[in-house]
Structure 1
Amino acid sequence: MSDGKPVSQPAKFTFTPLPSRTFGFLTHPDTRELLMKWSMNGRITAQAFRYDEYFSPYQKDDFVWAFFQDPNVISELKLSSEYAGQWVKLGTKVRKVKAQEVPCTRLSMSLFDCLYSEGVVKEGGHISKCLDEFIDDFTISDELRKVLLVDDSDKYDIFSKSDREDFLFLLFKHLCLGGALCQFEDMIDPYLETTKCIYKDLLCVQKDPQTKEVRIISTVFKVSAYDENGMCYPSVRPHEQTFAYLIVDPMKRHVNVFYHCFGGGAF
């Protein structure tokens, strides 16, 4: 993770909002109903911006710094108001940014096959239950949440360190944990299908003309921004379920912002 750009660093990229870009997971009734049940609807969003300059992943720090310095981003980037219960715009002078590149290579949902083979999910898709445990803001009442959160549990190692760092896994974990008033699923399919839906909505793939193999060409960064008072984005209050990812499409020169702020439900 970068330590952040100084306030004097010049911005080399410029950004233009793309308000006509829609994201299916925000509009599809079935997905919205699930996000409501998981206490995420109204606290999760996605926005798109266009940039005009060539981008390469090694320019991560310059790119993210420029993003949060751009007047169009400052005036249009949405975040959840902690107090008023509504969407507000960033609207503040960012003095430091942090950005962590997130691996993103998975082209199938086979990463989660081990949930079945290791008995976390039973035949038919039922999630195995367990005695209640409590970690921070989360109630663990099934083996799925135990695998996601309890690092000394028997089955924690069914996912490797690199598995857990991958964007597909992080997205799945975010959906499984949900918001403050999350109603958990008894079946695994809603989590897997919604993960797949959002993943495809946010990322860009390309077929190699020589090998004919499909690969993900998007680059993903987990980001945070700080003003003179401290962290201002994605929230003034850090939480595992409060996050913002920038997903860069180098072909279209688009950047998708995927955002959620942990809280008690829709507003």
Structure 2
Amino acid sequence: MAAGELGNLGGYSFRFLPQRAFPSLSARESSSRLRQWSMLGRIQAQAFGFDQTFQAYRKDDFVMVGTGAGAFPQVGIDLENTLSRSTDVKKIEATAVPCTQLSMSFFHRLYDENIVRDSGHIVKCLDFFCDPFLISDELRKVLLVEDSEKYEIFSQPDREEFLFCIFKHLCLGGALCQYEDVLNPYMETTKLIYKDLVSVRKNPQTKKIQITSSVFKVTAYDSAGMCYPSTKNHEQTFSYFIVDPIKRHVYVLYHCYGVGEMS
């Protein structure tokens, strides 16, 4: 195996790309926000190169390398001794995540429906729990409470979009999240992460910008049950593989729910 080569299964070989930075997570302002949201040190992104043409129908083989053969050992850090890094993966779930949105105007309906005021302030509501999250504003209500009045402003296909997934994860945060009173920090950070991870190009025929990335939400199981991204299932514990088939890069966005770094 060549130097820097990390794994080979089903014909794919991977190499870690430590030089690929993700300023959306590491820049000073982003770090400050992630600390406030109790995600700092728990959310991370890393890049890997691969050596063959990506074929979507072989996504399970592709993902098996990352989770089972140790191709992505830097990702999936067990912060609470809950993650078993088993090499005996029995089952892989690589669920395709739609990634079609090219504009943050996708979220303008939050203003149209008075979930966010024209000033950018998020409308408050009486506190209640939607286990395990505290709901104290209309934004978290529309994200989580299915029988709420305005839940349907985002359709089910809308909610499956990768842009929406990132936004929702940031809004819900970690175990000691200090929520924002205004929308802008969530919007800015969502946009930065999305641009960091998703590749686009101009279609030579239509001259329109199109997304070239494929996104998968990944879960792996060994003989004891779920082993990646954690042994504990939680809405805020996730691993997304974002594949750039042109550059032959895959970016892994990972978060393990818990208490983030506080200083």
Question: Are 2:76 and 2:228, in contact at CA under 8 Å, matched by a contact in 1?
Answer: no
- Larger CA deviation: 223-232 vs 194-203: 223-232
Among all aligned residue pairs of Structure 1 and Structure 2, give the percentage whose two residues are the same amino acid. 56
Superposition map of 1:146-185 within 5 A: 146-185=141-180
Give the Cα–Cα distance (whole angstroms) in 2 for the partners of residues 26 and 112 of structure 1: 21
Write out per-residue CA displacement over residues 181-213 of structure 1, whole angstroms, 9 at most, x where no aligned residue.
Answer: 000000000000000000000111011111110
Partner in structure 2 of residue 66 of structure 1:
65
Shift of 1:19: 1.3
Unaligned runs of 5+ in 1: 1-9
Q: Which amino acid aligns with 1:195?
A: T
Partner in structure 2 of residue 76 of structure 1:
74
Partner in structure 1 of residue 88 of structure 2:
93
Give the Cα–Cα distance (whole angstroms) in 2 for the partners of residues 194 and 163 of structure 1: 19
Unaligned runs of 5+ in 2: 1-8
Shift of 1:89: 9.2
- Aligned residue pairs total 254
Please give the TM-score of this superposition, normalised by the length of structure 1.
0.91
Give the Cα–Cα distance (whole angstroms) in 2 for the partners of residues 24 and 76 of structure 1: 18
Give the Cα–Cα distance (whole angstroms) in 2 for the partners of residues 192 and 89 of structure 1: 34
Give the Cα–Cα distance (whole angstroms) in 2 for the partners of residues 185 and 219 of structure 1: 31
Superposition map of 1:177-256 within 5 A: 177-256=172-251
Give the Cα–Cα distance (whole angstroms) in 1 for the partners of residues 154 and 254 of structure 2: 25
Question: Are 1:205 and 1:217, in contact at CA under 8 Å, matched by a contact in 2?
Answer: yes
Alignment counterpart, residue 260 of structure 2, candidates 245, 249, 265: 265
Give the Cα–Cα distance (whole angstroms) in 2 for the partners of residues 208 and 96 of structure 1: 37
Give the Cα–Cα distance (whole angstroms) in 2 for the partners of residues 11 and 196 of structure 1: 35
Partner in structure 1 of residue 37 of structure 2:
38
Superposition misfits of 4+ residues, deviation over 6 angstroms: none
Q: Which amino acid aligns with 1:67?
A: G
Please give the TM-score of this superposition, normalised by the length of structure 2.
0.92
Write out per-residue CA displacement over residues 44-93 of structure 1, whole angstroms, 9 at most, x where no aligned residue.
Answer: 000111110111222222221233233433x4334232249xxx894643
Write out per-residue CA displacement over residues 87-142 of structure 1, whole angstroms, 9 at most, x where no aligned residue.
Answer: x8946432221110000010001110000000000111000000011011100000
Supply the RMSD in Å over aligned alpha carbons.
Answer: 1.7
Give the Cα–Cα distance (whole angstroms) in 2 for the partners of residues 76 and 119 of structure 1: 42
Shift of 1:266: 1.6
Give the Cα–Cα distance (whole angstroms) in 2 for the partners of residues 257 and 239 of structure 1: 18
